[in-house]
Amino acid sequence: MKIQGFLVVDKPAGVTSHDVVAAVRACTGVKKVGHTGTLDPFATGVLPLALGRSTRLVQFLDESIKVYDAHIQLGAATDTGDPTGEVIREAPVPPLERAGVEAVLSTFLGERMQEPPAYSAVKVDGKPLYHYARKGQKVRAAPRAIMVHHLELLGLEPDTLRVRITCGRGTYARVLADEIATALGTAGHLKALCRDRSGPFYMEDAVDLPTLADWVRTAPGPDWRAVLMARRGEERVPWRPRDEVRAAVAEHMRSEVTSLGHLPMVDVPAADLVRVRNGGTPPPAPRGSRLGQRYLLVSGAELIAVAEHGTEGPKLLRVA
């Protein structure tokens, strides 16, 4: 059974994004599996995975909107900006009232510059920042423009804030948490972080790893970690036939057309399908398309290709 499209996984805390990719690759037998945006090991929530040929379509996704449920611990900042790091700064927490906190949050809205944290994958001189940080070397990356659309105060306790962050791609919630704490007159770090949305992918579409483990195992038994992430030398739990697992996963996949639904679509006439699939000139973009507009070429619910309205006419970007 061939499988392709996007699977939204609810990543638990304590595992890496790569761990989730490896588990899905192993239980489905699909060689090409990739995530569209890394979540730190301590973070949870929406981790979209592209399976099969869909890995080639990740570049066309619109993940410009991210939504996080952030718990900010006040009183101490850590070197990683999260609970896994060492405390590097402490400060007393002043008395806080909802109105005052909301006023501070409002100052962070809109476009702003943000410096990537020391423990991040942003590269300087060809190496990620975390490479330098782990060696105790202080290397900084140039600040980048980010967009914060909305900050909603969900909870307020004497030393903890719970904030829903709606932001653009490339925003580091860890940095934002520290900046908010500083603006409140104290220090802070992320105590917990859950991604509720990544572009077209939402938490309500997500499959958790215990459910995936249930699709894989032949009988009730061990914890999902023993099923999906058994270490070398440990006894492996018996798995169902791979086709059965793929069938279960396929029912929860989001189609390529749905996942790229922000792009306009053109239905390819049956007579032109072979030509387009072979890399021939695609049908023109929808009427009124702007120059540079990308659009989908479809046949019913099947994605055939991605094209662009170019200066010299329609241009094929990727055959699905």
User: Which residues are part of the catalytic machinery?
Assistant: 40
Q: Which three-class secondary structure state does DSSP give residue 130?
A: helix
Token pair for residue 52? 């099969």
* Angle value at C-alpha 126, between 125 and 127, nearest 5 degrees: 95
Length of the chain: 320
* Residues 62 and 306: beta-carbon distance below 8 Å: no
* Residues 42 and 84: beta-carbon distance below 8 Å: yes
Gap between the Cα atoms of 38 and 302, Å rounded = 28
Of 203, 199, 256, 258, nearest to 63 (Cα)? 199
Q: Which three-class secondary structure state does DSSP give residue 149?
A: strand
* Residues 278 and 260: beta-carbon distance below 8 Å: no
DSSP 53: G
Query: For residue 136, what are the contacts with CB-CB under 8 A and spacing of at least 6?
Result: none
Q: Per DSSP, which regions of the chain are E strands?
A: 5-11, 33-35, 44-51, 65-74, 76-78, 87-90, 110-114, 123-124, 127-128, 144-157, 160-168, 188-198, 201-202, 207-208, 265-267, 294-299, 302-310, 313-319
DSSP 6: E
How large is the C-alpha radius of gyration of the chain?
A: 23
Of 209, 165, 141, nearest to 69 (Cα)? 165
